[in-house]
Amino acid sequence: MNSILDKEPVKRAEKILKDFDPNINVIILEQTARTANDAATALGCNVGAIVKSLLFKLGDKFCLCLVSGDKRCSLNKLKKKLSEKDVSMASPEEVKQITGYTIGGVSPIGHIVNTKVYMDKHLERFSKVFAAAGHPNAVFGITFFELKKLTNSEVDDLTE
């Protein structure tokens, strides 16, 4: 059986992590971390410390929002922030096409198409946050400020 670490999407995320900080490791979980609740249970952490990587479609462009696992991304706040009338969740096909990841394992890094990243300020509550690393069973732990730097994201209040 192929190891999760051998899968291309995980390798892509891991290479970016290692280039950023050799001390950040991909963690392989026994059980799936497909949802924020699953990930929090598997890691034994607060669900809010789980980073949800959500891809949104803005007309013909896309942006990624990194949101705390216990919050919901607000389309209205996003529309106002981006001065866009037409904002919607990307389809599973678009997510795969833009990020190179399938839903449940979308990492905030290593996307096929370069997209602007916005990070919800509520993730700052936690000393360490956990994000997907290209597979539903693969995650990595990182500080809020490291993740901001790694993803070159803009921090704002994006949730309701």
Residue count of the chain, please give it: 160
- Measuring CA to CA, which residue among 68, 67, 85 is closest to residue 76? 85
DSSP E strands: which ranges in the chain?
Answer: 26-28, 51-58, 61-68, 87-89, 116-120, 129-135, 138-142, 154-156
In the chain, domain spans? 4-156
Instruction: Provide φ and ψ at 88, rounded to 5°.
Output: -145, 160
Mean pLDDT of 14-43: 93
> Which pLDDT score, from 0 to 100, does residue 2 have?
55
- Which tens digit of pLDDT belongs to each residue from 49-76? 999 999 999 988 999 999 999 999 999 9
pLDDT band at 1 (very low <50, low <70, confident <90, very high): very low
Percent of residues, the chain, with pLDDT higher than 70: 99
8 Å CB contact between 98 and 110: no
- Which tens digit of pLDDT belongs to each residue from 119-150? 999 999 999 999 999 999 999 999 999 999 99
Evaluate if residue 19 carries a pLDDT over 90: yes
3-state DSSP assignment of residue 24: coil
Alpha helices in the chain (DSSP H): 8-20, 36-43, 75-82, 92-99, 144-151
- Which tens digit of pLDDT belongs to each residue from 99-119? 999 999 999 999 999 999 999
Q: Hey, which CATH number is domain 4-156, 3.40.50.300, 3.90.960.10, 3.40.140.10, 3.30.420.40?
A: 3.90.960.10
